[in-house]
Chains A and B, each alone.
Chain A
Amino acid sequence: MSEWWTYSLSDFLMFSSRSYYRLIESYNAAIWPAHLLALVAGLVVIVAIVRPRQHLQRSAALVLAAAWGWVAWAYQLERYAEINTAAPYFAAAFAVQALLLCWLAYRPANAANAAPAPQPVALGLTGLAIFAYPVLALARDNGTWRQAEVFGIVPDPTVVATLGMLLAWRAPAIFWLIPVSWCLVSGATLMELKIGHAWLLPALALTAVFARVMGSRKPRDLNSTANPRS
């Protein structure tokens, strides 16, 4: 693309906020009541943060992997690609993250060094993603419950919940790359759509990264840091 520096984000925005949220609405209607299952799955992630046992953390990582995989296929590829030509690339990135989370689940000693105790910031991020994110729909003009963004169903709350888990697990940088990138992409998109809470996603990513950097320590084997009774 010539003179790429003359392009702004608005040049790549292909859809209106109305089309965007109507897409979420029709997607929600099509897969209901899968949201209830997603909520239960989200609780597994929260429990894994509150009680950092190895088997719970593995379960949470698998839940998140399934959520990323589902969002890659059902949302990015099957729905979002209808209005955004970049969505297949997003789907690929989400699929890669799903694989990374599987790796995190089965190779914890190599991939992670979980904190021995619950971390308030991690819990806050994941809790916000699972319980508060759906309510954001009501904060928008003309927003309804039917447009609720639910963990495991659409990307944004799924990514925020993952950031919480990565923070609790003190996961290495490679696991953060795609979630944080998505926060920037989605935040910028919402900004161009003039959505009031567009700042939220980048702010949450920044919070998670900051907490991770501040809490960094030498990697230790998960088996040695998790509760020995698990």
Chain B
Amino acid sequence: MPPTSPSRRHLLASMIAASGGLALSPLLAAALPAPLLTRPIPSSGEQLPVIGLGSWITFNVGRDPQGRRESTDVMRQFFAGGGRLVDSSPMYGSAQDVIGEAVQTLKPARLFAADKVWVSGGARGVAQVEASRKLWRVPRFDLLQVHNLLSWDEHLPILLAMKREGRLRYVGITTSEGRRHAEIEKIMASQPIDFVQISYNALDRDVEQRILPLARERRIGVIVNRPFRQGDLTQALAGKPLPGWAADIGCTTWAQALLKFIVSHPAVTCAIPATSSVAHVRENLLAGTGRMPDEALRKRIAQDVERLA
């Protein structure tokens, strides 16, 4: 099907109006052609860029010097472009140590260090968090999340206590690919968490029904993982012409359109695409700039992606 013609009805006159509280990051006007948008963390009001950086698979390069150099380059570009939130997990092999090496090299001024606890039992969780912190080479984490809800009832009280003691700034929980949403909802409704991390993209939109509205209601920040379905989505759309609406929201690639779809949802705080390519980091960051789709265009993006992917 040929690209459709753009409809001005589907565009927002202002990115701020479109995305329910988006503001401009002052950091990167020099690095990107337009400022990277930020969103307030609901529980604190702290502004966070809408594009973060994941590390699943991409940063697990072992001791390979070239892989580590490339990962550092990716993080250099990410920070130069105004990015802040980097997300990892003890589950991601060598990724934490690779991030730590880059942090040591780059010394980013505004890193937002987001990690996870992924082990059975609260006591082992404490030891794991400390081991992770040493690998990251940071004095403390900004955000710690219970990975895939593993032993969440034991970890959450410990993480919340760390937050009260000033050893941690935010607490969250994670899931991926639509798993355990009922339990996620229960925790969101009953626990004083700051973030929930879920999978969300133009094809996997279950969270729009309950979890995203609940996050807004409970003032919980939302981090979105697997925005490209681990690359399958961008691969499926590769070679397909971008519809006309893409240019109207400043997208030159499907990856940008997919990211704009996600971060334009008013409940979403940021998306965390993972990449090992410097060019892709820049491409992803650009998706956090300029105009955002309104609700009508978001529906159309979802329909087009569903049709083409």
Q: Are B230 and A83 in contact (CB under 8 A)?
A: no
CA distance A23 to B67 in the complex (A): 10
Q: Are B57 and A23 in contact (CB under 8 A)?
A: no
What DSSP secondary structure best describes chain A's contact surface?
A: loop
Q: Are A82 and B58 in contact (CB under 8 A)?
A: no
Q: Are B177 and A79 in contact (CB under 8 A)?
A: no
B56, B64, B91: which contacts A19 (Cβ < 8 A)? B64
What DSSP secondary structure best describes chain B's contact surface?
A: loop
A227 at interface, CB cutoff 8 A: no
Contact size class for A?
20 to 34
Considering only residues 1-48 of chain A, those with a C-beta below 8 Å from chain B are: 1-3, 6, 10-11, 13-16, 18-19, 22-23, 26
A129–chain B nearest beta-carbon distance, Å:
25
Q: Are A19 and B60 in contact (CB under 8 A)?
A: yes
| Chain B residue total in the interface (Cβ 8 A) | 24
Q: Are A6 and B177 in contact (CB under 8 A)?
A: yes
Q: Are B177 and A19 in contact (CB under 8 A)?
A: no
CA distance A30 to B176 in the complex (A): 38
B190 at interface, CB cutoff 8 A: no
Knowing A22-B61, A82-B62, say if A15 contacts B93 (CB, 8 Å): yes
CA distance A2 to B61 in the complex (A): 29
B179 at interface, CB cutoff 8 A: yes
A85 at interface, CB cutoff 8 A: yes
- A-binding residues in B (CB < 8 A): 56-58, 60-64, 66-67, 91-94, 148-150, 176-180, 230, 276
Of the A-B pairs whose beta carbons lie under 8 Å apart in the complex, a sample of 11, sorted by A's number, is A1-B148, A3-B180, A6-B178, A6-B179, A14-B57, A14-B91, A14-B92, A19-B61, A22-B67, A23-B64, A83-B93
Across the A-B interface, the 9 shortest Cβ-Cβ residue pairs: A82-B62, A83-B62, A15-B60, A14-B93, A83-B93, A19-B61, A22-B64, A83-B60, A6-B179
